[in-house]
Amino acid sequence: MNKVGPLLGGLVVAAAGPGMVFMLNALSFIGIIIFLHRWNKPSERKLLPPEQVIGAIRTGLRYMRHSLHVRALLARDFAITICGSAVISLLPLLARNEAGSNSILFGILVGALGLGGLFSGFVLVPRIKNISIEKRVAGAIIVYAIAMIVISFHHGIDILFVGIFTIGTALIIISSSLNFVAYNSVSSWVRTRVVSVHQMMYWGGVAFGSILWGIVAEIWGIPTALIAAAIGLVVGLVTSTRYKLKPLADVDLTPSMHWYMPRTMIDIDDHAEGSVLVEMEFQIDPTHSQEFESAMSDMRSVILRDGAISWELFHDVENPSRYVMMFTSESWTDHLRQHERMTKADLAIEQHAISFHIGKDPPRISHLISEDMSKENQK
């Protein structure tokens, strides 16, 4: 729909001027409001209370910090949109310079952007879906950059139309690929949080880039700004060597629910605000310590990503075969949420770490909850 909008907007601008576009856009929200008011979405029955807003934001950001795939997505979002925003931000100036402030040409160019997006969405994207995300995005970026360079040198209406059409085609390939990665690289419980931050980074890059290229165009001219942005887009492909776009479509992200529910022998309600410490004790063959520690590094990312606020691995100085993993959750409820968040892919990582355990019994797990010592002091 983000390409149908520019097409319709361009037609309305050409026919009735920009004021009508804003009026129709405002009126369109009435239908959305009515739909949301009448929409009765079936709610899932959950045993745990809903998260508080601030806590949910904090947990979502923690997940993104400890997820390599999400960090890569956000870095690429910003790198691509800073330079890719040059055409969108300078499009009114291109139209003005060619037709002397004629809004009709601007509407036609915006429509060309939308037409390119529609052509890409209905014709190109279905035909290149078997190409890897990385190659798809890289190819679209190169096409985008070439089109920017072409329109920077040629300002004829026909060249502008074809160039903007091509940019619209490349843009929908890039944006749909980034959206696909955002939606398919995370667990369902955090998906909306990741997608919202992805959108924030995407449009934040557009906003920052628009300011940047507006300043460059004011000082050195529009052609220089477009050429510099095109070079920046291509140079930005270097980020793909470190930050690769990897949708986890082949990874099982369904909840595993394999963590057992601990038997509580104290009143948890009296410790509702207390932090929780979980200990897991391993007996490891010292000759395999390095491999075990590497496996536990992967385990660390999983546990911190799913809600723990700290994680450490301790090695017994008196018994080289003994390791103790400890992690802390903000509260008992938050720890129980971790039980629900562990996926089958996480289970495989955990089982790999446990495979180094040589004890007769499974690794010993303990749950401890902090006492509120202020109550004792008040007594």
Superfamily of domain 4-35+52-241: MFS general substrate transporter like domains (1.20.1250.20)
Q: What is the pLDDT of residues 199-220, one digit of tens each?
A: 999 999 999 999 999 999 999 9
What is the band of 35 on the pLDDT scale with cuts at 50, 70, 90?
confident
Q: What is the mean pLDDT of the chain?
A: 86
pLDDT digits (tens, 9 = 90+) for 296-353: 999 999 999 998 999 999 999 999 999 999 999 999 989 999 999 999 999 999 999 9
Lowest mean pLDDT among 11-20, 188-197, 347-356: 11-20
Question: Does the domain at residues 268-373 carry the CATH identifier 3.30.70.100?
Answer: yes
Distance between CA atoms of residues 374 and 377, nearest Å = 5
Which pair of tokens denotes residue 157?
Answer: 């209406």
Q: Can you say whether residue 17 is alpha, beta or left, with left for phi > 0 and alpha for psi between -120 and 50 degrees?
A: left
Cβ atoms within 10 Å of 174's Cβ, excluding its own: 24
Residue 43: pLDDT band with limits 50, 70, 90: low
- 8 close to 114: Cβ distance less than 8 angstroms: yes
pLDDT bin (cut points 50, 70, 90) of residue 253 is: confident
Question: In this predicted model, what pLDDT tens digit does every residue of 215-236 receive, in sequence order?
Answer: 999 999 999 999 999 999 999 8
Tokens in use for 358?
């040589």
Q: What is the pLDDT of residue 95?
A: 79
Q: What is the pLDDT of residues 139-167, one digit of tens each?
A: 999 999 999 999 988 767 888 889 999 99
pTM for the structure as a whole: 0.83
What is the rounded end-to-end Cα distance, in angstroms, of the chain?
63
Q: Where are the domains of the chain?
A: 4-35+52-241, 268-373
